[in-house]
Amino acid sequence: MGLRLGVIGIGAIGKEHTLRIEKKLSRAKVVAVNDVNREHTEAFLAQHNLSAKFYESGIELIRAQDVDAILVTSWGPTHEEFVLASIAAGKYVFCEKPLAVTASGCRAIVEAEMMHGKQLVQVGFMRRFDKSYRQLKSVLDSEQLGYPLILNCAHRAPAAPGFAGDMAISDSLVHEFDVLKWLLNDDYVSAQVILPRKTRLCDDSLQDPHVVLLRTKQGVLINIESFVNAQYGYDIQCHVVCESGTAALPEPSDVMLRHDGKFTRNIIVDWQLRFIEAFDVELQEWIDATSVGRVDGPSAWDGFIVAVTADACVAAKHSGNIEPINIPERPVFYR
């Protein structure tokens, strides 16, 4: 029968994950769902001929006897409560980012999990499951190019209609923060944020693009361009300069055309298409690891230090200074 899952939050990502588990993946079943909108949720279940039971309360769903593990895909501010309740129930939980909306909330989850005595929490940083990032990590881990010294990264999206304030950092760069330390097996020590010339092609109140410079314990310089109104496409770049060579993140392949005086290849514009296979791998590996009682993916600790890093970047953006990133020693529990 496989793993019996409960999904809290049947919005866009909750629906996608539910359908992914039911239609594409193996060895798990969605048996329970919870959402603030019951009518909407039951229409979704009916439309796809799904037999999951509806729960009025997320906490009730977490405690249900026939639910083996939980997916938290609800509104961000509710994550902390549901993750803590899952830990309290001793159940494995996969939580979409953010783990909690504050670093202290993340810290509380870390402490609860350590108190419980066993890892249960995985955070939805899907890039670690992307084939291209895995290919790049495999090259770096082999040390065939020596140590990494500099990373030049870009996170570009065609447009970001709802973005305001520091959302480019707290909402999208968090993926960079998680995947880059995983890529380097390293931790961050400081952040600087530079505001280059602004594009005219976005809301006047938004500073776009901006450049985040991170330093790691090993001294690696990471340069991340965040450009959420880059117009031309959804383009994730990562170039690593090592001691004896460089390595670039593979790009999605597509037909190479020669037409109209040009050699062209399409670039992905819709971000959902960029990591669609990574989401499949992420959830299947989570199901498989959960089934044998392991957490292999991004942990609560990872969620916590991403939150600390994002806070430091926001501070650096506003101060214009190089700000320290104070990450405590990684507990043995999370090694």
For a copy of itself, what does the binding mask look like between residues 82 and 121, x meaning CB under 8 A?
A: ----------------------------------------
CB atoms within 10 A of CB 95: 26
Shortest Cβ 100–a copy of itself spacing (Å):
32
Among 204, 259, 329, 335, binds a copy of itself (CB under 8 A): 259
- Residue 283 token pair: 């959830």
Burial of residue 158 (CB within 10 Å: 0-12, 13-18, 19+) is middle
Count of beta carbons in the 10 Å neighbourhood of residue 167: 14
Least CB distance from residue 246 to a copy of itself, whole Å? 5
| Half-sphere exposure of residue 112: CA atoms within 13 angstroms, side-chain side | 22
In the region spanning residues 38 to 67, those forming contacts with a copy of itself, defined by CB under 8 A, are none
Rule CB under 8 A: is residue 289 a binding residue for a copy of itself? Answer: no
Contact 325, 308 (CB under 8 A): yes
Q: Which is nearer to a copy of itself, 84 or 157 (CB)?
A: 157
Among 22, 42, 60, 81, binds a copy of itself (CB under 8 A): 22
Q: How far apart are CA 7 and CA 180, in angstroms?
A: 29
- For the bound state, the minimum distance from the C-beta of residue 136 to a copy of itself, rounded and expressed in Å, comes to 5
- Whichever of 117 and 261 has its CB closer to a copy of itself, that residue is 261
Report the distance separating Cα 6 and Cα 86, nearest Å.
11
Residue among 111 and 141 whose Cβ is closer to a copy of itself: 141
Tokens of 8: 């809290």
Of 49 and 332, which CB lies nearer to a copy of itself in the complex structure? 49
Give CA–CA dist 223/305, Å, rounded.
Answer: 19
From the list 78, 102, 207, 223, which residue makes contact with a copy of itself (rule: CB under 8 A)?
Answer: 223
**Residue 124 in contact with residue 97, Cβ under 8 Å?**
yes
Binding site for a copy of itself (CB under 8 A): 22-27, 132, 135-136, 139, 144-150, 152, 154, 194, 196-201, 209, 211, 213, 218-221, 223, 225, 227, 230-233, 235, 241, 243-267, 269, 284
